[in-house]
Amino acid sequence: MFRTEAPSGDRHPHRAMVSRIARVTALLAMGTVFFALHGCSSKTAPRGGAEIAQETGGPQPDGSLHGATSTLVDPNRQIRWEYSAMPNPAPSSQPNYLLKSYRCEKGGSTLNGEARGSLGQLVETLKSKPSVRVVCIGLCDGQGEAVNAQNLGMNRAQAAKQFLTGQGIAKDRIETASFAATQATASKDETIGQAEERRVEIWLLSE
């Protein structure tokens, strides 16, 4: 007759060892899956909107223009008012930040493509921020435009204002001023410098 009982001694010890290793490996794998699903839940729990906004630079709860994605001006390019004299006529309050700037054709105030592009970028944001007030300032070069610089600078500022009001921005939110050629420094030989001086700047007055 054949014996059906297992032998008292393990004739193949290596097989038993392989079996034990396999069972331990399986248990470790199950434990890894369990901790992956449950052990790290505290690290991925949703956080409050204000906390995320603070870490990512997103809009702040107060909706300030200086809160990254809701700002009119790139936070990395903020320029504080740096002129030593106010333009004529002076704005009702001191400008805070330069929002947009574009160049003008020599002797003219008609809006070109650059001007329309720069002003157009402001329209939607100004509509969404009804308390914001700005000032449009016209500047001229100190060479060919020096004679009629005050009026030319104002005409340039008025052209910017007319564009914005034509897009639905209230007139009382936009002031105008002219620096004429008081900020011009380029000599008659510096054609590129003169071109940069013929411009309009839109500054933030208040939020």
CATH label of the domain that carries residue 191: 3.30.1330.60
pLDDT, tens only, 115-137: 999 999 988 889 989 999 999 99
In this prediction, residue 16 carries a pLDDT of 57
Specify the number of domains making up the chain.
2
| Residues of the chain above pLDDT 70, percent | 63
Measured CA to CA, the distance from residue 177 to residue 83 in angstroms comes to 14
Does residue 34 share a domain with residue 109?
no
Instruction: Tell me if 154 is assigned to some domain.
Output: yes
Domain that holds residue 35: 13-42
Is position 57 within any domain? no
Any domain includes 48: no
- In a domain, residue 50? The reply is no
Low-confidence ranges of the chain (pLDDT < 50): 1-8, 33-70
- On whether both 84 and 160 belong to a single domain, the answer is yes
Q: Are residues 36 and 108 in the same domain?
A: no
Alpha helices by DSSP H, 41-106: 49-56
Q: 39: which 2 tokens?
A: 């052990």
Of 52, 51, 98, 103, nearest to 75 (Cα)?
98
Residue 68 belongs to some domain of the structure:
no
Q: Is the residue at 66 inside a domain?
A: no
Kindly state whether residue 70 falls inside one of the protein's structural domains.
no
pLDDT at 126: 93
Residue 64 lies in a domain: no
Q: Please tell me whether residues 90 and 171 are part of one structural domain.
A: yes
pLDDT of amino acid 78: 74
pLDDT at 120: 92
